[in-house]
Amino acid sequence: MSGSRPNIVIMYADDLGFGDLACYDCKDIPTPNLDRLAASGIRFTNGYATAATCTPSRYSLLTGSYPWRNPLAAILPGDAPQLVTPEMKTMPKMLKKAGYHTGIVGKWHLGLGDGNLDWNGSINGTPNDVGFDYSYIMAATNDRVPTVYVKNREVENLDPNDPIEVTYEDKPFPGEKTGRDNPELLRMKHSHGHDGTIVNGVGRIGHMRGGASALWNDETMYAVFLKEACEFVERSQEEPFFLYYAFHQPHVPRLPAPPFQGATKLGPRGDVIVEMDYCVGKFLDKLEELGIRENTIVIFSSDNGPVLDDGYIDEAPETNAACRHNPAGPLRGGKYSLYDGGTRVPTLLSWPEKVDPQVSDAVICHVDFHHSFAKMTGVALDEDEAIDSFDVLDALTGQVSTARQTLVTEGYGQKTLVRKDNWVYIPPYEGSETAWGTGNETGCRLYDQLYDMNADIAQASNVAESNPEKLAELKALHQEIYNSEASRS
């Protein structure tokens, strides 16, 4: 595979769990297009994000380094300065060296600007400054202001006479309608947080005013990003391209478009997963129509594990309980958690021309794409580039069934744990045992936890006491990697 330059597409869901797709044994959500993708390539059973929250995971995906090395890599507000800065060595920059045309469509959540961001001019510090030739993004999340699209360096459809102002201080603008003070204007109530500016009848995190002509509509967002993704590949089909297509589903607020409302018995959370699956199907159709599907690597995964109540009352806990749908499948925990449900996520890779359909148990992590694709395209990494990214190309292409031996992932608040082979060690931590308001177990405990993932995928039995040697080995390994300057060779 070395020296080849297929197109690369990374589709990244937002908060999709290990048990949310039919190809991962889910019975409650029809996802025929993702199942088609799975059947055409490799379905990984041990595919990991580096973190149980969004910003740190995405940071790793693009930089090939662990997020806990950077103390700023936490869930960012919508007006945060760029976390991935122009001097950093990124995967899209590496692919540009190999001659790729690069683009991002969808959720960014890695900060914009270099401090004191002015949304009304040309923004310095966008994905275009860190390796993307084209970008069409939402700045942060669909529950954070500003609720506008940013195309390359500018807010799309902005009227200069109605400038945008944004603040994350707890101080509404004069006259602003907020979820806290105007609950009668809400069509979806919040359960925690999300009581800032009301946009489209939904309270968001943060405050904004102005920009009326630029505001997005949640129900058309799926179509807007799909169109952008398809147009990017149409424009780029003559050269190898890399597209990072970052979905907003099934992150809150979950507002499916009318054709998808009621598509599942799980309420809006299930319905937006069907909506996302529709987008996957249409996008794959586009690749086929252009005759480039065979030589395009299509990866699908999720930035972190699932959550039911993430701050809005949309019946997810009730409907999921009624259907006995566990969005993390057999795994314990979910988004924010140190347990496997936080970071082990659906991971599919299809490359029809080169890769045979199969299921792989190899342990791979999103942080590894950078190094693996450098290997594939023949780009030499600098010594200080992609410092935690392993070359797992042979596992990604299905030639071998093993990959990483060790992996350090993190839960909310940069609390880390280590996996080695089938063993997981979670160090003692102080902290809340459930993530605020979500009911999700964080994994924080005041004692050592050791799990044998082969015997106990649900992490139900802590075997630390009965395996003192293994415990000591993993403790030492965790410290060694945590204190290292780089973990790849």
Which residues from 346-405 bind ligand NG6, rule CB under 6 A? none
Cα–Cα dist 375/484, whole Å: 23
Binding mask 306-335 for ligand NG6 (x = CB under 6 A): ----xx------------------------
Q: At its nearest, how many Å lie between ligand NG6 and the CB of residue 254?
A: 11
Q: Is there binding between residue 20 and Ca ion (CB under 5 A)?
A: no
Contact pick of 252, 292, 328, 395 for ligand NG6 (by CB under 6 A): 252
**Which of these, 253, 116, 262, lies nearest to 187 by C-alpha position?**
253
Those residues with Cβ within 8 angstroms of residue 381's Cβ, 6 or more apart along the chain or in another chain: 94, 370, 371, 374
Residue pair 260/250 in contact (Cβ under 8 Å)? The answer is no
Helix orientation angle between 54-63 and 369-377, rounded to the nearest 10 degrees:
20
195 forms part of the interface with ligand NG6 (CB under 6 A): no
Least distance from C-beta 434 to Ca ion, angstroms?
18
Q: Cα 435 to the chain's mean position, in Å?
A: 18
Nearest-angstrom CA–CA distance, 272 and 135: 23
Contacts 24+ apart (CB under 8 A), 227-231: 228/105, 228/136, 229/105, 229/106, 229/279, 229/283, 230/282, 230/283, 230/286
Would the CA dihedral through 74, 75, 80, 81 be positive or negative? positive
How distant is the alpha carbon of residue 41 from its chain centre? Answer: 21
Q: How far apart, in whole angstroms, are the C-alpha atoms of residue 43 and residue 36?
A: 11
Q: Does 117 bind Ca ion (CB under 5 A)?
A: no
Nearer to ligand NG6, 41 or 56 (CB): 56
Name which position in 14, 129, 309, 410 contacts Ca ion (CB under 5 A).
14
Listed in sequence order, the residues at least 6 apart from 9 whose beta carbon sits closer than 8 Å to its beta carbon are: 233, 242, 243, 245, 283, 287, 296, 297, 298, 299
Stretch that binds Ca ion, among 8-16, 216-224, 380-388, 459-467 (CB under 5 A): 8-16
Taking the complex as a whole, the smallest distance from the CB of residue 14 to ligand NG6 amounts, in Å, to 6
The alpha carbon of residue 268 and the mean position of all alpha carbons in its chain are separated, in whole angstroms, by: 19
What is the spatial distance between Cα 86 and Cα 65, in angstroms, rounded to a whole number?
15
Q: How far is the CB of 303 from Ca ion (least distance, A)?
A: 4
Q: Which of 193, 317, 352, 431 binds ligand NG6 (CB under 6 A)?
A: 193
The type of residue at 186 is L
Only one of the segments 81-89, 187-195, 373-381, 418-426 lies at the binding site for ligand NG6 (rule: CB under 6 A); that segment is 187-195
Task: Check residue 54 for interaction with ligand NG6 (CB under 6 A).
Answer: yes
Rg of the chain (C-alpha set): 21
Residue 141: contacted member of ligand NG6, Ca ion, none (CB under 5 to 8 Å, by partner type): ligand NG6
Regarding 109 and contact with ligand NG6 (CB under 6 A), the answer is yes
Of 93 and 194, CB closest to ligand NG6: 194
| Residue of this chain nearest to Ca ion (CB atom) | 54
Q: Least CB distance from residue 53 to Ca ion, whole Å?
A: 6
Instruction: For residue 42, report the phi and psi dihedrals to the nearest 5 degrees.
Output: -100, 135
Residues in 35-54 that interact with Ca ion by CB under 5 A: 54
Q: How many residues bind ligand NG6 (CB under 6 A)?
A: 17
Q: Report, in Å, the least distance between residue 57 CB and ligand NG6.
A: 8
Query: CB under 8 Å to 445, separation ≥6 — which residues?
Result: 426, 428, 429, 433
Query: Using the rule CB under 6 A, is 143 a contact of ligand NG6?
Result: yes
- x/- string (CB under 6 A) for ligand NG6, residues 197-226? --------x---------------------
Closer residue to ligand NG6 (CB): 14 or 129: 14
Q: Single out the segment in contact with ligand NG6 by CB under 6 A; choices: 37-45, 188-196, 240-248, 291-299.
A: 188-196
75 binds ligand NG6 (CB under 6 A): yes
Q: d(Cα 156, Cα 337) in Å, to the nearest integer?
A: 36
Question: Could you say whether residue 388 binds Ca ion (CB under 5 A)?
Answer: no
Rounded Cα–Cα distance for residues 78 and 199 (Å): 15
Contact status: 170 vs ligand NG6 (CB under 6 A) = no
385 touches Ca ion (CB under 5 A): no
Please report whether residue 410 would count as binding Ca ion according to CB under 5 A: no
The binding site for ligand NG6 (CB under 6 A) comprises: 14-15, 53-54, 75, 109, 141, 143, 192-194, 205, 251-252, 304, 310-311
Residues that bind Ca ion (CB under 5 A): 14-15, 54, 303-304
